[in-house]
Amino acid sequence: MTAPPRRTIGVVGGSGLSSLFPEGASATHRVSTPWGAPSAPIEEGTVGGMRVLFLARHGPGHTIPPHRVNYRANVDALRSLGAEAIVTVSSVGSLREELPPGAFVLPSQFLDWTKQRPTTFYDGGRVFHVSLADPFCPDLLRRAAEAGRDAGTPFAEGRTYLCVEGPRFSTRAESALFRTWADVIGMTLVPEVTLARERALCYACLAMVTDFDVWAERPVEAREIVETMHRNLGRMRAVLDRLLPTLAAPPTCSCSKALDDAGI
**What residues are labeled active site?**
211, 213
Integer Cα distance of 140 and 244 in angstroms: 10
Cβ contacts of 147-153, under 8 Å, gap ≥ 24: 147/239, 147/240, 147/242, 147/243, 147/246, 148/104, 148/106, 148/239, 150/242, 151/235, 151/238, 151/239, 151/241, 151/242, 153/104, 153/235, 153/236, 153/238, 153/239
Residue 204 backbone dihedrals phi, psi, to 5 degrees = -145, 145
Q: How far apart are CA 204 and CA 25, in angstroms?
A: 23
CA angle 41, 82, 259 (to 5 degrees): 120
Q: Yes or no: say if 25 and 45 are a contact pair by the CB < 8 Å rule.
A: yes
